[in-house]
């Protein structure tokens, strides 16, 4: 698609949201505590903030402000407010007035451990939302996010809303091509998953759901624990139920 010549600020809102689900099996309280400690270290707020800052660099955005929070007993959040890094903007003073657009340009991440499964299937969910305006393309961040999080089930939604105007005054409702969300993900990553894609291009709406199929059963149990077939079956049921119902 050729580059559109726009009139003034490009205020198309591009929203990319992820839900990642990771699972392990706890055969007792010691396993549960060990996994909780792992999550608190591996996905602490400071580390998640670091990921969000790398995403900002990948999509050519400037970080204007940041915040982070760890929770007791587990869980974390991080938030970055962004502006478009490309160019100085269409009008004098644009850089100083960019805070007017902060409600549309941000990255937020929240983690949600779930330890209530009756058969000891421990779940960990991460929600990430990238909401941008201007020329920022959040789809370029997908591979970086997959490399950071261990994940068994993934749901990704991409929406483009609002409109801007071309120089002649015509409405512009879409300024980039989206063959599919999967188009922006490394094929080596996709090969590890079963997938379902939904697309409504006329409504500027896409969804991709993934279920891990390349698994090593031993990786879902604590080191030194034997694989329990009954619990492994419960784990795969949990994964597929979530995959089918989200």
131 catalytic per annotation: no
The answer to whether the Cα torsion of 36, 42, 47, 52 is positive or negative is negative
Please answer whether residues 242 and 121 qualify as being in contact, where contact means their C-beta atoms are separated by less than 8 angstroms: no
CA dist 246 and 241 (Å) reads 9
CA dist 235 and 32 (Å) reads 15
180 catalytic per annotation: no
Burial classification of residue 192, based on how many CB atoms lie within 10 Å of its CB (0-12 exposed, 13-18 middle, 19 or more buried): middle
Q: Residues 19, 110, 131, 141: which is the catalytic one?
A: 110
Q: Which of 59, 2, 4 is nearest to 173 (CA)?
A: 4
Q: Residues 105, 131, 137, 141: which is the catalytic one?
A: 105
110 catalytic per annotation: yes
- Give the catalytic positions in this structure: 105, 110, 133
């Amino acid at each position: 698609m050729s580059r559109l010549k726009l009139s003034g600020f490009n205020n198309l809102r591009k929203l990319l949201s992820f839900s990642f689900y990771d699972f392990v099996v706890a055969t007792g309280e010691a396993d549960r505590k060990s996994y909780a400690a792992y999550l608190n270290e591996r996905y602490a707020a400071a580390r998640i903030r670091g990921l969000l800052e790398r995403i900002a660099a990948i999509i050519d955005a400037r970080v204007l402000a940041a915040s982070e929070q760890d929770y007791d007993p587990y869980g974390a959040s991080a938030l970055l407010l962004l502006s478009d890094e490309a160019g100085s903007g269409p009008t004098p003073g644009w850089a100083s007035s960019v805070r007017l657009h902060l409600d549309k340009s941000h990255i937020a991440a929240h983690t949600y451990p779930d330890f209530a499964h009756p058969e000891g299937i421990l779940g960990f969910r991460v929600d990430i939302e990238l909401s941008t305006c201007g020329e920022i393309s959040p789809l370029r961040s997908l591979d970086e996010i997959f490399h950071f999080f261990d994940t068994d089930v993934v749901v990704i939604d991409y929406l483009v809303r609002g409109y801007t105007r071309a120089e002649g005054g015509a409405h512009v409702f879409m300024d980039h091509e989206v063959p599919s969300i999967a188009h922006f993900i490394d094929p080596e990553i996709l090969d590890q998953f079963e997938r379902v894609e939904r697309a409504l291009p006329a409504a500027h709406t896409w969804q991709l759901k993934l279920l891990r199929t390349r698994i090593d059963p031993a990786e879902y149990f604590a080191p030194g624990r034997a694989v329990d077939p009954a619990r492994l079956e419960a784990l795969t049921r949990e994964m597929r139920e979530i995959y089918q119902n989200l």
